[in-house]
Amino acid sequence: MSLADIPPFFLAWLRNPRSIAAVAPSGARVADLMTQDINAATGPVLELGPGTGSFTYSLLRRGVRESDLTLVEFSADFVELLKKRFPRAHVLKMDATRLGDIALFDRATTGAVVSGLGFRAMQPQQHAAILAGAFKHLRPGGAFYQITYGPRCPVPTSVLGQLKLVSAFVGRTLWNVPPASVYRIERCNER
């Protein structure tokens, strides 16, 4: 996280706290935790709510090609910043609940989804729409990684069951503002 990223992130949060998950960009330790299972062999990666690009930078350090990144961001301010920082990535300004309505990839599917979205501030139908859309693009064996600032997986058990998904705790770091946990969400039949 660059100190220069804090003011624009905080201002975006002040303008719309329900659409920005945290008051500051994610730090390096939680970014490493989010991306620890992802590497160049994962193939295309879909990132939801990249903000200023903390997880994006970590994905690049792990060997994911910039051209294999699709970044889905709702904030117009962050979209412009992401386009400047990652010119070879596919940056889309859209609501992540609409993922199921569009074709993201020509023939390939994504190997992982990394989500910085504020699931704790969303309704169950939003969780279901985002997860169903993401798993539409996620190849068999791929996983959805979700950050949370709460004590458990932010996706309700009822939504996981409805979509035939399971969650597993990946880890927690206190070295983030606020402290954060990461969960991996997968299809039930792939465990």
Q: Hey, what domains does the chain have and what are their CATH numbers?
A: 3-190 (3.40.50.150)
Tokens, residue 40: 């160049």
Closest CA to 84 of 8, 160, 168, 181: 8
- Burial of 109 by CB count in 10 Å (0-12 exposed, 13-18 middle, 19+ buried)? middle
pLDDT at 25: 54
3-state SS, one letter per residue, for the chain: CCHHHHHHHHHHHHHCCCCCCCCCCCCHHHHHHHHCCCCHHHCCEEEECCCCCHHHHHHHHCCCCHHHEEEEECCHHHHHHHHHHCCCCEEEECCHHHHHHCCCCCCCCEEEEEECCCHHHCCHHHHHHHHHHHHHHEEEEEEEEEEECCCCCCCCHHHHHHCCEEEEEEEEECCCCCCEEEEEEEEHHHC
Cβ atoms 58, 91 nearer than 8 A: no
- Stretch 38-64: mean pLDDT, rounded? 95
Q: Band of the pLDDT at 176, cuts 50, 70, 90?
A: confident
How far apart are alpha carbons 163 and 158 in whole angstroms?
9
- Stretch 99-126: mean pLDDT, rounded? 88
Cβ atoms 73, 99 nearer than 8 A: no
**Other CB atoms within 10 A of residue 2 CB:** 10
Give per-residue pLDDT as tens, 71-96. Answer: 999 988 889 999 999 999 999 999 99
Q: Rounded to two decimals, what is the model's pTM?
A: 0.87
Distances (CA, A) of 149 to 14, 79, 123, 178, 180: 18, 24, 16, 7, 5
Average pLDDT, the chain: 88
